[in-house]
Structure 1
């Protein structure tokens, strides 16, 4: 099996590079930028990619790579920061300041015969995200493309098997990005494209069996695709050593608990139901800060599990459905990565937790998990379910979380999803939900003045949750939703629509 090593310098897009490569049926593996050459050799890479990163190559302690990397005889591709690092290592000049470029940028190909650009249009838009720029190329390197500001956008040194891209080919906004990566994988690295998720399942099943070493594993089932696939995968590895617990934290959607339990009847999993609604709501009383909410929910979640685990002999592991976007946004992906927000599955675990954490899906994206679920025969109503956050409605109920406000949010959310589900585009939507705002506005109902809260409608389309665009919800859906919510949900007198994408916003409001 061919393998591409990605040396992570802290970019938020590093895992997206890996995902694009996997989509082309080539195995990819992310390692820290300071991984030893011996460790890299053990993985017998066909090629190496040096990722982007938030730092400058001139910063003290900034990521770098050993010169021994270029003696391995395998092609090396630098992306964004990675290209600047290659320029610096081989004697080029990298400058800071004047030529900052962020977002969509047009580039012009100066050498159409260059390896990664052969047969590609001479001018197209790419996604840039850099402050530094290359002022002069190292000796032996040829300029391939420039931006409209004249900044080097790509270079190559075929003799040394080195290529550099100042832009991000892995991002959907980059035109021809997939074609450029494909040329690196197949034309440069001679990969065969024989990796698939079926092989990943077999490998992970063996790893889980070995890692748990005969111990009992407890899984927190939520009803969503992540925890369900993690449970089915683990059950395949350890059988009846897996005990599943579904915790009703009081932060679920309308009739969520009942629907979840009904769905699990179709799966051969040992599921125990725990109603801890009161415990969670008590812990959240008076809390409005979103990070504190997540920490409290995470800790309460673990404490409930520990109480249940104490009833199960030899329970040592807690299985979670953590995915890589959770890890990225929590800043745990690699050295130098910034924290966007902590996630329930990542940032809310107490330091004195008695259970060890098992996260077999933490290197995968949502679409990959769905594909694995289908291979494992998980029912479509679970595999195709829209993502639902671990902290539940607590991160959609802005301000203090109370039972009354949650009930209000649940009613509004059910109406929106019900009305939206009647449209032709609903099945292609990544997420559609309501957010209750801690804002009161004046209204009039039945000739009387009202002073009630506001609900925001949020609908996005995305491939992996890393980036997202707001959905143009049909006007008739918006009209029916707003009228029904205001007429039937007590406590709401205004409905607004969220029309921001990710970035600059995150999908969830908290």
Structure 2
């Protein structure tokens, strides 16, 4: 690229959110390993550097440190949270442990707007997440913003173009955070706002062609937006070199196999194979309760089924295509060796076998769901595909708590079908991020007519989000919840109680497992 904003990744769960905010400002960004040499950044045409947050202290033995020469590149640098602490540590300031960890909402008072806070109000609500803080400014820096617990919540050395903020402007909890980032990009770095979704598609197509060459790609098509957009992008790049396989793993929603077969037969000119492997999956999952073990079994079995399918249709493939998104990756494994913390294994990321014979092609790996949807729209995919709610790769396997049986799956399928039908009727299906039912392995006493029952519990999970990194429970009208609950308890045999999950993310994840 002619110009690049480099985001150095020090292990924050929010590193890609920073890159995403930059792309939202129509500026090209690229995430680099924290130790990338300054010479490499210069070679790539970097016009600005952002130092991400991270879970470490700058004084820890294992603390990730950058190449000190990045401060000699002659380009602006913005340090966020751990990033501002690094700036202080490297440039002659002092960092110390806070008496109390700052996590959650805080308030910033802007003393001097400068270029970073140009056009913003003097007081902003911000989001903090740190245990250390800057205690002494490096030479040349001045404080331009203070918070309740820090006189150096925002600092600058305008002469060198160095800026630091102790809070996180990339999260939506921070008021006008996107404007702060945009001010750095445009006002400080003078970056051009010329990066679009079409640019992403063009670069992805070129990358896929370079990687795949004349090889064949096998893609597991689930019918969800992620795999559908990945399929469309791969098809645009390599055409008939792509074969899609829809695997019925016995963990699908009600009527899912027929829906996918009809949908893709109508809208896509893609080589699609449908494989029923439900007996194999359920056999391997029998008696398994641990969610991590479930995911890994499902991931391994998926790959085995793909490889067997190749042999049956008499084709060889060198690559496995997947609709992996960034939230899947950052929760499962560290990217390029970053020190991010593991949250859970996604079946298509950490759950894949180490000695898998197929090489991966994941064109959406650094995107969020809303960005994927924009790519899907740009590729001309139909609305019912682009805006379909997310469904996990392991399917109902991570929505049945505890061990999985056919009876439990049937109860969950029927309960979930009621929920989806009512959400569609109300028009709320397209307005919330995700709505689904969860089977709980708990029996409670109920009353039907004059008879005592002792049946299972279904939980409803309905959330609002923009990128799946954070989420809040959706405030659904009470009369609709009452109708859903009444229908489930009346129509679904084996259920006597329906509860509503009102947890946010964090601390909870969207899926229960």
**TM-score, shorter chain, exceeding 0.5:** yes
**Aligned residue runs from structure 1 range 150-229, under 5 A:** 150-229=150-229
Q: Contact 2:133–2:150 at 8 Å: present in 1 too?
A: no
Q: CA deviation at 1:424?
A: 4.3
> Would you say 1:13 and 2:14 are equivalent positions?
yes
Separation in structure 2 between the aligned mates of residue 118 and residue 201 of structure 1, nearest angstrom: 33
Partner of 1:36: 37
> For the residues of structure 2 that align with 1:206 and 1:97, how far apart are their CA atoms?
48
Partner of 2:373: 370
Render the CA deviation track for 1:293-345: whole Å, top value 9, x for unaligned: 00000011111011112244331111111011100111323421100001011
> Counterpart in 1 of 2:386?
383
For the residues of structure 1 that align with 2:278 and 2:252, how far apart are their CA atoms? 10
Counterpart of 1:329 (choices 331, 336, 342) is: 331
What's the CA shift string for 1:127-148, capped at 9, x where partnerless? 1000001111112100011111
- Structure 1 residue aligned with 2:318: 316
Which residue, 405, 408, 411 being the options, matches 1:402? 405
Question: Structure 2: how far apart are the matches of 1:273 and 1:287?
Answer: 26
In 1, Cα distance between equivalents of 2:238 and 2:398: 34
Task: Work out the CA distance in 2 between the residues paired with 1:84 and 1:150.
Answer: 13
Do the aligned residues in 2 keep the contact of 1:99 with 1:132 (CA within 8 Å)? no
1:19-418 matches, within 5 Å, as 19-112=20-113, 114-265=114-265, 266-311=267-312, 312-333=314-335, 334-418=337-421
**Distance in 2 (alpha carbons) for counterparts of 1:150 and 1:367:** 35
Q: CA deviation at 1:119?
A: 2.5
**Selected match of 1:501 from 485, 499, 504:** 504
Is the 2:216–2:316 Cα contact (8 Å) retained in structure 1?
yes
Q: How many residues align?
A: 509
**d(CA) in 2 for partners of 1:215 and 1:192?**
37
Partner of 2:240: helix, strand, or coil? helix
Deviations 1:93-146 (CA, angstroms, capped at 9, x unpaired): 11013042001111211223x221133111121010000011111121000111
Contact in 1 for aligned 2:8/2:33 (Cα 8 Å): yes
> Alpha-carbon deviation of 1:213?
1.9
1:287–1:151 Cα change, 3 Å? farther
TM-superposed deviation, 1:151: 4.0
User: In structure 2, the residue corresponding to 1:378 is in which secondary structure?
Assistant: coil
Distance 2:248 2:288 in 1: 20
Is the 1:225–1:383 Cα contact (8 Å) retained in structure 2? yes
Give me the whole-angstrom Cα distance separating, in 2, the residues matched to 1:272 and 1:421: 29
How many angstroms apart in 2 are the aligned matches of 1:248 and 1:19?
A: 34
Task: Provide Cα deviations, 1:368-396, integer angstroms capped at 9, x if missing partner.
Answer: 11111111111111111100000000111
Deviation at 1:416, TM superposition (A): 1.0
**Does the residue aligned with 2:220 lie in a helix, a strand or coil?**
strand
Deviating more after overlay: 326-335 vs 250-259: 326-335
Counterpart CA distance in 1 for 2:196 and 2:343 is: 31
Partner of 1:457: 460
Q: How far does the alpha carbon of each residue in 1:346-370 deviate from its partner, in whole angstroms, 9 at most, with x for none?
A: 0111112111111111011111111
Conserved 8 A contact 1:99-1:151: no
User: Counterpart in 2 of 1:422?
Assistant: 425
**Residue 388 of structure 1 aligns to a residue in which SS?**
coil
TM-score (norm 1): 0.98
Query: Alignment partner of 2:88: what SS?
Result: helix
Q: CA deviation at 1:158?
A: 1.1
Does the 8 A contact of 1:156 with 1:164 survive in 2?
Answer: yes
1:440 aligned to 2:454? no
Distance 2:115 2:99 in 1: 30
